[in-house]
Amino acid sequence: MDRVIFLVDMQSFYANVEKVFQPELENKPVVVAGNPDIRNGVILAACPLAKQWGVKTTETLWEAENKCPYLVVAKPRMQVYINASVEIAAVLEMFSDAVEPYSIDEIFVEMTHSLKPFHGDPQKAAVRIKRHIQRMLGVHARIGIGPTKVLAKMACDHFAKQSSAGVFTLSQDNISEQLWPRSIDHLFGVGRQMERHLRNMGIRTIGQLARFPLEPLKKRWGINGELLWRTSHGWDPSPVTADTHIRRKGIGHHMTLPRDYYSWKEIRVVLRELSEEVARRARKNGCTGKVISAEASSRNVQVPAKFHRQVSLDHDTNDGKVIYDAAARLFHHHWDGYPVRSIGVTLHQLTNDTFRQLSLFHPLQEREALHQTIDDIEDRFGSGTILYASSLTAASQAHLRAQKIGGHYK
């Protein structure tokens, strides 16, 4: 039996959620934008009416207002959007027991064994799901359908979003006709740098990559070259499960600072705070990691200064102090002293923390008991309840971050 997977995407999610909560905005061009003083008013979401004026996400607020003088600007409310996303996932669980959130506004649904009420017709199921979400939550969905997650994703991104019906199917029967003629940058997993490399090899369309010999791609890029080649054919065996996204990704935090940080004395304060946040998230997800990466960059667009490096540890960890010590070593080796405007820390190679490698020289019991106590207190009283003394200095961002989710106010 061929698999049937849906990728359900919420149209202009943040902006449309605001319209649901504020019905008077229904027929107005609405955008959701960050704080202009701190984030330069970047557009996070634009409703269809705003897009008709040419407003685009990621552009600055002043650019959008120049295009649309009647623009209504709403500040982001991340907790509201997260709650709405959870409700949408609950609606989808009425149709299938295999539901995987991919992002706050995208959810995979395994429909292979859930099509009987729809006489085996995925299109009918998609239309019913769209109608159900609209009726219950007031937001519009687009649905990509495919036999694999990667085809469902590309069906949604490149076809369903442009379709008046909001539903499109990509399969092995139509992939050569529909997907292969598209530009290579439309292939899932191809970023700007990889696009440049592929174009230099004469590969300009997805079809050209699909027909390219596999061995040269593997020789040049290893497993990533083979993965892209397989993606161009729509091959993807990954299951739809609730924790797939968590398992295959690292856990990290990245932030743009409100001003340039010039000294290590200031940088280390934020680096420690980010490391503790990463550690707490890892513990909350029941996992540890063995690779730590750190990154930093300046805001100089003309001559960008940045680094992104990683280091492997001897043992898996979810201890904020261990993560911070590793990230600090990376900074000492790779930061050249330029003003830092953005900074990040990530824990990679995640594994389940049920089993741990014990050490005679570094006992874990006392540290784990301390972490459990701190986590319990923060679960009860909120993030940022317990901080290092350094977080009382002017360089700290902990109190501000405690008021935010995903870099935006709750």
The binding site comprises 9, 105
Taking the alpha carbons at both ends of the chain, their separation in whole angstroms is 44
Give the integer Cα–Cα distance in Å for 368 and 319: 8
d(CA 119, CA 381): 50
Question: What is the distance between the alpha carbons of residues 70 and 50, in angstroms, rounded to a whole number?
Answer: 9
Give the residue from 52, 47, 135, 56 showing the smallest Cα distance to 91.
135
* CB distance 253 to 273 below 8 Å: no
Angle at 168 between CA 130 and CA 97, to 5 degrees: 50
Hey, which residues does 145 pair with through a beta bridge?
6, 169
Give the C-alpha separation, 18 to 12, whole Å: 10
Task: Give me the residue label for tokens 């054919």.
Answer: 233
Q: Kindly state the tokens that stand for 29.
A: 């061009």
Per the annotation, the verdict on 215 as an active-site residue is no
Quick count: other Cβ atoms within 10 Å of Cβ 168? 25
Instruction: Classify 257 as helix, strand or coil.
Output: strand
What separation in angstroms does the CA of 132 have from each of 3, 47, 167? Answer: 23, 20, 14
DSSP readout, 129-178? HHHHHHHHH---EEEEEESSHHHHHHHHHHTGGGSSSSEEE--TTTHHHH
- Token look-up 């280091």 returns 311
Query: How many Cα neighbours within 13 Å face the side chain of 228?
Result: 30
CA–CA gap between residue 360 and residue 383 (Å, rounded): 33
Please state the residue numbers annotated as binding site for Mg(2+). Answer: 9, 105
Question: What gap in Å lies between CA 108 and CA 145, rounded to an integer?
Answer: 10
CB 74 within 8 A of CB 16: no
Q: Which of 59, 100, 106, 277 is catalytic?
A: 106
Enzyme catalytic residues: 106
